[in-house]
Amino acid sequence: MRLKEDFHHTIVIERSEFICYVRKCLDEAQAKAFIQEIRRLHPEANHHCYAYIAGQHNELQRSNDAGEPSGTAGVPMLESLKLSGLQDCCAVTVRYFGGIKLGAGGLVRAYSRSVSETLKLAPKVETILMDRYTLTFSYDLIGKLDYLLKDQADIVTKTYGEQVVYEFLTTTESLPEKIQELTSGRYLCRWLARELVEKDCS
């Protein structure tokens, strides 16, 4: 599971403002560029703390307290990233100090919460292995095939000529057989490819 798009969310604790920005970053270079971008966006902030994970098994893990007491910002942010189940993600939390000290425990909770709340709200996608097919059939079968496909496939294109041509993606291995059965063997699916597809998480 990965982030679908950039996202940010703000929490206020004891008058201190914590603004967490998250982005999908596939490697260290992308993460560092994102961190610099947020620093430029908030030059007056007291702290720009960050954490990121990347790699097929999240083998790349980095965090930084950015001037907060050691272990109170970057590490709890990193733990929130790991607990989220996301891959390839960078989080930068900007803090504007509100005048009231939170203490070490308060900072840990604040930075952890800033990331966990942001990731909970952020749009996410899953990468799924799907089969791509094309199907050519007669007009009289549109209703039946649309009904069959609506819950079992994602129709990519519909072309209407002498016959109807659908191109669709599916994870249902038995779908070609179901189509053959529905059309009494008149029309067969032609397999095109197996590919990784990003789908929105509900």
CA distances from 42 to 37, 38, 94, 116 (A): 9, 6, 8, 21
Cα separation, 124 vs 120, in Å, equals 9
Instruction: Say if residue 111's pLDDT is above 70.
Output: yes
Instruction: Say if residue 201's pLDDT is above 80.
Output: no
Can you give the pLDDT at residue 202? 59
Can you give the pLDDT at residue 50? 96
Can you give the pLDDT at residue 92? 98
pLDDT (tens digit, 9 = 90+) per residue, 151-168?
A: 999 999 999 999 999 999
Crossing angle between the packed helical segments 74-84 and 103-121, to the nearest 10 degrees:
30
H or E segment and range at residue 100: none
pLDDT (tens digit, 9 = 90+) per residue, 59-72?
A: 999 999 998 999 99
Cα separation, 61 vs 82, in Å, equals 9
Domains and CATH numbers, the chain: 2-122 (3.30.230.30), 126-200 (3.30.70.240)
Q: What are phi and psi of 23, to 5 degrees?
A: -150, 150
CB 75 within 8 A of CB 56: no
Can you give the pLDDT at residue 186? 85
Instruction: Say if residue 145's pLDDT is above 80.
Output: yes
Q: For 20-31, give the DSSP string.
A: EEEEE-SSHHHH
Percent of the chain with pLDDT over 70: 100
